[in-house]
Amino acid sequence: MSLSTKVGSFELANPFIAASGTYGYGTEYGDLSPAREWGAVILKSVSRNPRPGNLPPRCCEVDSGMINSIGLANVGLEKYMAEKLPAFAAANPDAVCIASLAGETLDEFLCLAEKLTEVKTIKAFELNISCPNVAKGGMHFGADCSASRQLVTEMKKISSVPVWVKVTPSTTDPVGVASVCAEAGADAVVATNTIPAMKIDITRCRPVLGNKTGGLSGPAMFPASLRIAYMIHRALPDLPLVGCGGVDCGEKAVQYILAGCSAVEIGTATFRRPDTLAEVKQFLSEYMDRMGFKTIEDFRGLASRT
C-alpha cells in the first residue's frame, strides 16, 4: 500500500498539505508538525510589498471553527526571499515547499512569479485569488472569470513550476471559475478557501473582529467546501484537484479523495492539534487497508461516479 499521490505531474509522498496561512513560514511548529512529514507545505501568502495586516482583533471562535481576518499580513517579497525561504530550507532540507502568491493586480502576481520561479526551494505556486479579507485582489479576483483566465494564462507563460489556483467558495459558479482556470492551463485547482462570515459581541453591540467580517474556517465549512470540490470534479474529471476546508480528521480527508481530490490541505485543525497530520495519515493507512485500496488512485473520485 502506498500513500503517495500525484497532483497532475506533481508527486507527493502523501496527500496531505499544510494550508497557507496556517503554517506560517514553515518553521514555527518545529518538531510538533515537521514540514518533512507533510506531502507539501504551503507558506503564508506573499505580496510584493510587506503588508501589516488588518486591525485587531483578527480572529474569534465560532461553533466548530473560527473566523479570521488576518488581512494577508506578510513580510513582503524581499524579506521572504532573503530570510524566510532560506530559513525554511535550512530547517527543512527534505520538505516540499509551495509558495502562495497574493497580488492585488495582474502585475503584482507576475512580479512575484518572475522573482520566485527560479528559487529552488519552491516547487509550485498556489495563486491566492480567494482571500475574503482584503479590499483589492483576493476573492474579488477569483470571482471574476475573465480576470482569472488572464491571470492563469500570463502566470503559465513565466512560471517554471506548476501553477495551482485556490478558488473561492463565494461565487455562484465555482465550476465556471475552475473551468476557466483549467482552460488557461492551471496545473491544479484548490477547492476552496474560507467563507465570508462574522460574529457580533452582544455586550459591546458591535462586530467582534476589527475588520468587522472575516473568513470562516474549521469543521464548520467542511460540507460546503466538499460539495464544491465534488461539483468541480464531476464537471472537470481530468483537472487535478486539491481539497481544502474543514479537515480535522482522516475520515473527512478520505471524503475529499472520494470526491475526486488527489491531495487534501489541512489548516485550522493544526491550531487545535499540531499532531493532526499523524492522525490523518494513520487513519488513511487503516482505511485503505480495510477497504483493500493499494493506492490513492484506487479510490479517488469514486463518490463522483455514482
Determine the interface stretch with another protein among 119-127, 198-206, 234-242, 265-273 (rule: CB under 8 A). 265-273
Q: Smallest distance from the beta carbon of 185 to another protein, in angstroms?
A: 32
- 4 or 282: CB nearest another protein: 282
- 7 or 72: CB nearest another protein: 72
- The Cα–Cα gap between 268 and 32 comes to 15
Is residue 268 within the footprint of another protein (CB under 8 A)? yes
10's grid cell:
506533481
Kind of pairing between the strands at 65-68 and 97-101:
unpaired
Choose, from 131, 181, 244, 261, the residue flagged as catalytic: 131
Is residue 212 within the footprint of another protein (CB under 8 A)? no
- 158 or 278: CB nearest another protein: 278
Determine the interface stretch with another protein among 19-27, 77-85, 97-105, 115-123 (rule: CB under 8 A). 19-27
DSSP classification of residue 134? -
- The stretches of the chain forming alpha helices (DSSP H) are 77-79, 85-91, 106-116, 138-142, 145-158, 174-183, 222-235, 250-259, 268-272, 276-291
Neighbours of 268 (CB within 10 A): 24
Binding mask 218-257 for another protein (x = CB under 8 A): xx--------------------------------------
Is residue 60 within the footprint of another protein (CB under 8 A)? yes
- Angstrom CA distances, 121 to 22, 84, 116, 265, stand at 19, 11, 9, 20
Binding mask 21-50 for another protein (x = CB under 8 A): xxxx---xxxxx-----------x------
Neighbouring residues of 205: CB distance < 8 A, sequence distance ≥ 6: none
* Number of chain residues interacting with another protein (CB under 8 A): 34
Contact in structure between 189 and 148 (CB atoms under 8 Å): no
Determine the interface stretch with another protein among 16-24, 180-188, 236-244, 287-295 (rule: CB under 8 A). 16-24
Stretch (H or E) spanning 123: strand 122-128
Does the active-site annotation cover 59? no
Q: Examine residue 57 and say whether the peptide bond preceding it is cis (omega within 30 degrees of 0).
A: yes
Report, as residue numbers or ranges, the catalytic residues.
Answer: 131
Chain residues in the site for another protein (CB under 8 A): 21-24, 28-32, 44, 52-53, 56-61, 63-66, 68, 70, 73, 218-219, 268, 270-275
